[in-house]
A and B are shown apart, each in its own frame.
Chain A
């Protein structure tokens, strides 16, 4: 069944304490090449049948209303992944 993938990230100006903690842990494992880490969320919305324009529009609306909080987060990607 096809899935609609929605990616949500904290807005660039919002400090990401979890990303910062991960960035602090990386060098302890020898990963020294990374300046910063930002942690986001990935949602997979499974659709029974074909993904129509209407269903995709619904997914975009859900992404803006429930899946993300526009005060602190941006929806950075909404795409269909066929299986």
Chain B
């Protein structure tokens, strides 16, 4: 088994359906976690396809991950400049099309998705004003989305949280709507680490193909390198989307 493979299972011979899945990972100037995201995609058994922000070719990918980092140095507002990248125009169109391209935004990727209006609300500076980096327990609130169908609603998972502008805000009407429609995908458990409204850690769009969250599932895919003893709770994001792509949606 090569070191590229996770220690929790041998994914070196994925099933025929999965080995054909191509998952794009977008890189902007200042993106940090594209390599980890691509590695998580491969660990789940799919092919990672590098997408450059200034290109306009989606390269026939079946899903897209917008990874974390500090694109454009968080200048203006986190995600505000990246949102207007040529590649984002393509992703926004594909996510809203009948094909409903699955899109996952992690941390800065989540911020880019809210700036793109693919997801409602916005992120502002953490209420305590400090950068935070910790193992964070989340509760899976919605196990029906393209990126969460491998979890069970109510399940608690531990993945890494690391950000400066992580306080999720939206008006009361939007928050009520998100809760009523089951579009809160993840909530913080035990402690609200950044002052997010209603302890929201991640949300989805109405169709469930677009999911954004502040914590980082791609840093919790391999035993020994993630949080706590196992540290592999994040891998299910990347296997869920494969299940979704082969039509195994719940």
| Interface positions of A (Cβ within 8 A of B) | 10, 13-15, 17-18, 21, 66-67, 69, 71-72
Contacts and interface: CB of A to CB of B under 8 A. Distances in A.
B167 interface: yes
B127 A17 contact: yes
Nearest to A14: B169
6 contacts: A17-B125, A18-B125, A66-B81, A69-B115, A71-B169, A71-B170
A36 B120 CA distance: 29
Interface residues on B, range: 20 to 34
A69 B122 contact: yes
B60 interface: no
B129 A17 contact: yes
Contact of A21 (B77, B120, B121, B129): B129
Interface centre among A13, A14, A15, A71 (most CB of B within 10 A): A71
7 nearest CB pairs, A to B = A71-B122, A72-B122, A17-B125, A17-B129, A17-B127, A21-B129, A69-B122
Given A67-B76, A72-B124, A18 B129 contact: yes
Given A15-B195, A66-B84, A71 B114 contact: yes
Contacts of B120: 71
B98 interface: no
A69 B77 contact: yes
A66 B115 CA distance: 9
A71 B122 CA distance: 7
A15 B127 contact: yes
Contacts of A69: 77, 80, 115, 122
A36 to B, nearest CB: 16
